[in-house]
Amino acid sequence: MSPLNAALGLFFVLIYAGLILIFSLPRMNKKPPLLRRIEAVEKLKLAIGLTVEAGTRIHISLGNADLLSPCNSSALAGLSILEQVALISQLADRKPIATSGNGTIAVLSQSVFKNSLEGISAADLKESNQGQFSGTTPLSYAVGAISVIRKDQISANVLLGNYGCEVALLGQNSNQMKAITLGASDSLTAQAVLFAASDDPLIGEELFALPAYLGTKRIHSASVKIQDFFRWVLIITMLAGAILKYLGFL
Amino acid sequence: MKAPFATAVAITVGLLILAGYFIVSPLVQNIRFFLLDWAIILAGVAGIVGILSLLRTHWRKVRSREFGSLIVIFAFLATLLLGLLLGADNPQFQFVVTGIQVPIETSLMAVVLFSLVFAAIRLFQKKNNLMGTIFLISMFVFLVTSSSLLGIAQNIPGLGALISAIQTLPVAGARGILLGISLGGIAAGLRILVGAERPYRG
């Protein structure tokens, strides 16, 4: 990376972090955030309600991402959503279950459960096996997660993470069990597959906006606002660049 | 605040790694690689914990009379034993492991193919709207243009340029989606970096 690129990158990250922190201050959040309606989120909320009433449970699949790889952001967003779902499902008889294809993410999912579900001890968590490691390779992970989808009275499968085309197997099995299937991924292949295989796919950055829809933390709504702001900055910059190049200035 | 020490360590390490990405100083780089080495070791340990958890899950299934899980436990123990005796790099060991793993995963990929075809049909049945139609038309167009079926057409003046132009469309769309994902990913990372989200505090 050239010094100019490094300086620009650092500047961008600092501005991004600064704006998120500023917009999460109480005085900047007097009004509740205006979020556009996403059908998938409404269905997820309904499914969480069903877990309390019908005694079913929610399965959150966190994919195969390695925490040390650049494609871990979807798994981090998945962990955030897992925390929100676990908090909302406090009253449910059957607590949510998470599967992942990476050891570090599996350990973190167990940590999230332990932290979110009040009164649950490490021994209970071990016994209930809520944060599962389902397989070491993408396909073996899919097979392990399928056994959860088919056997654990799942009413909704939330597929959030880094996948390949094997996510089609998860989607198909979820549909066969007549469970709600909600999918989002940072992988383009998985996004295309999920568009066909899930009831309600989330496209692109919608995955990272989910915590703002499910939770009440100010920082989540602040990060959605800043995400949108920078998206418009990028769009305008790219359009301006294209016009300037066309006119011969670049 | 729960687990303040873990939070302080996580934020400090995160900031040092991030600084090492942008600041080209030997001191910062050395700290960054030192911490990354630790992270790799910890990830390895987490992998072992994960595998033990997987074995426990299958052992529990065996106890509840799902005897298919015995195959997983047996395969794990056999691979572990052979790996310890022969070494992970041994060609015969590699031959045996890949000789089992590759055919199984290849057959699973064949199942994935059927799942994808089934999903495409289901898409047409369930999402019988504008987006569903556009998705299906795009799928057929790019299947045809990316295959060798139009190899001869590439040489026809005008048509070849049109096919090339069509083939660049997914790249443009993909870049748009990837930019959105990158912005979201940065936000998710920063939320953890500033300690607003702490999946490690359990």
- Does residue A21 fall inside a structural domain? no
| Same domain membership, residue A230 and residue A162 | no
Q: Does A237 touch chain B (CB under 8 A)?
A: no
Say what the ipTM of the complex is. 0.85
| Same domain membership, residue A169 and residue A226 | no
- By Cβ distance, the residue of A129, A135, A203 closest to B177 is A203
Confidence band of B171 (pLDDT split at 50, 70, 90):
confident
- Does residue A136 fall inside a structural domain? yes
Question: Hey, what are A195's tokens?
Answer: 């568009």
- Does residue A3 fall inside a structural domain? no
Residue A111 to residue B202, Cβ atoms within 8 A: yes
Chain A residues within 8 A of B108 when measuring between CB atoms: 139, 142-143, 166, 169
- Does residue A137 fall inside a structural domain? yes
Q: Does A108 touch chain B (CB under 8 A)?
A: yes
Residue B116 to residue A113, Cβ atoms within 8 A: no
Q: Is the Cα torsion angle A220, A225, A228, A232 positive or negative in sign?
A: negative
pLDDT per position as a tens digit, A54-108: 788 899 999 988 888 877 888 888 888 888 888 887 777 788 899 999 989 998 9
| pLDDT at position A127 over 60 | no
- Does residue A32 fall inside a structural domain? no
pLDDT per position as a tens digit, B87-108: 888 898 888 888 888 899 999 9
Average the pLDDT over each of A28-37, A192-201, B34-43 and give the range with the smallest value. Answer: A28-37
| Same domain membership, residue A247 and residue A226 | yes
- Does residue A44 fall inside a structural domain? yes
Query: Looking at residues A157-181, what average pLDDT do you find?
Result: 91
Confidence band of A114 (pLDDT split at 50, 70, 90):
confident
Pairs across A and B, CB distance < 8 A: 198
Single-letter code of the amino acid located at B87: G
Residue A143: give its domain's CATH number.
3.40.50
- Does residue A246 fall inside a structural domain? yes
- Does residue A20 fall inside a structural domain? no
Chain B residues within 8 A of A108 when measuring between CB atoms: 199-200
Q: Does A183 touch chain B (CB under 8 A)?
A: no
Q: Is the Cα torsion angle A161, A164, A169, A172 positive or negative in sign?
A: positive
| pLDDT at position B121 over 70 | yes
**Site of tokens 């989808």:** A149
**Site of tokens 């699973």:** B108
Mapping DSSP onto H, E and C, the string for chain B reads: CCCHHHHHHHHHHHHHHHHHHHCCCHHHHHHHHHHHHHHHHHHHHHHHHHHHHHHHHHHHHHHCCCCCHHHHHHHHHHHHHHHHHHCCCCHHHHHHHHHHHHHHHHHHHHHHHHHHHHHHHHHHHHCCCHHHHHHHHHHHHHHHHHCHHHCCHHHCCCHHHHHHHHHHHHHHHHHHHHHHHHHHHHHHHHHHHCCCCCCCCC
pTM of this structure = 0.87
The predicted structure's pLDDT at residue B48: 92
Alpha-carbon gap, residue B53 to B47, rounded angstroms? 10
Distance from CA of B162 to the nearest CA of A (A): 21
Of all residues in chain B, the one with the smallest CA distance to A232 is B180
Of all residues in chain B, the one with the smallest CA distance to A101 is B50
Chain A residues within 8 A of B178 when measuring between CB atoms: 188
Confidence band of A120 (pLDDT split at 50, 70, 90):
low
| Same domain membership, residue A155 and residue A127 | yes
Residue B184 to residue A66, Cβ atoms within 8 A: no
Of all residues in chain B, the one with the smallest CA distance to A188 is B174
The predicted structure's pLDDT at residue A233: 92
Confidence band of A111 (pLDDT split at 50, 70, 90):
confident
Expressed in angstroms, the distance from the first to the final Cα of chain B is: 12
The residues, any chain, with a CB within 8 Å of residue A142's CB and separated by 6 or more, are A135, A166, A167, A169, A170, B108
Of all residues in chain B, the one with the smallest CA distance to A83 is B199
- For residues A117 and B37, is the Cβ–Cβ distance under 8 A? no
The predicted structure's pLDDT at residue B110: 92
Q: Does A233 touch chain B (CB under 8 A)?
A: no
Residue A103 to residue B180, Cβ atoms within 8 A: no
| Same domain membership, residue A130 and residue A48 | yes
pLDDT per position as a tens digit, B1-21: 677 888 888 899 989 998 888
| Same domain membership, residue A224 and residue A150 | no
Q: Does A187 touch chain B (CB under 8 A)?
A: no
Q: At what angle do helices A218-247 and A206-214 cross, to 10 degrees?
A: 150
Q: Which strand (E) or helix (H) includes residue A209?
A: helix A206-214
Confidence band of A145 (pLDDT split at 50, 70, 90):
very high
| Same domain membership, residue A150 and residue A116 | yes
Distance from CA of B175 to the nearest CA of A (A): 10
| Same domain membership, residue A125 and residue A100 | yes
| Same domain membership, residue A77 and residue A65 | yes
| Same domain membership, residue A160 and residue A234 | no
Average the pLDDT over each of A14-23, A115-124, B28-37, B96-105 and give the range with the smallest value. Answer: A115-124
Residue B201 to residue A111, Cβ atoms within 8 A: yes
Alpha-carbon gap, residue A246 to B141, rounded angstroms? 30
Q: Taking all residues of chain A, what is their mean pLDDT, rounded to a whole number?
A: 85
Q: Taking all residues of chain B, what is their mean pLDDT, rounded to a whole number?
A: 86
| Same domain membership, residue A237 and residue A195 | no
pLDDT per position as a tens digit, A202-220: 888 888 888 888 877 888 8
- B-proximal residues of A, 21-60, CB under 8 Å: 21, 24
Nearest to A190 by CA among B3, B140, B116: B116
Query: Which residue spans within A146-227 are E strands per DSSP?
Result: 154-162, 180-184, 200-201
Domain that holds residue A242: 219-250
Q: Does A132 touch chain B (CB under 8 A)?
A: yes
Q: Is the Cα torsion angle A17, A23, A24, A27 positive or negative in sign?
A: positive
Q: What percent of chain A stands above pLDDT 70?
A: 96
Average the pLDDT over each of A155-164, A213-222, B75-84 and give the range with the smallest value. Answer: A213-222
- By Cβ distance, the residue of A6, A129, A227 closest to B184 is A227
| Same domain membership, residue A174 and residue A151 | yes
Residue A13 to residue B48, Cβ atoms within 8 A: no
The predicted structure's pLDDT at residue B34: 92
Number of independent structural domains in chain A: 2
pLDDT per position as a tens digit, B138-158: 888 888 887 777 777 777 777
The predicted structure's pLDDT at residue A122: 62
The predicted structure's pLDDT at residue A126: 60
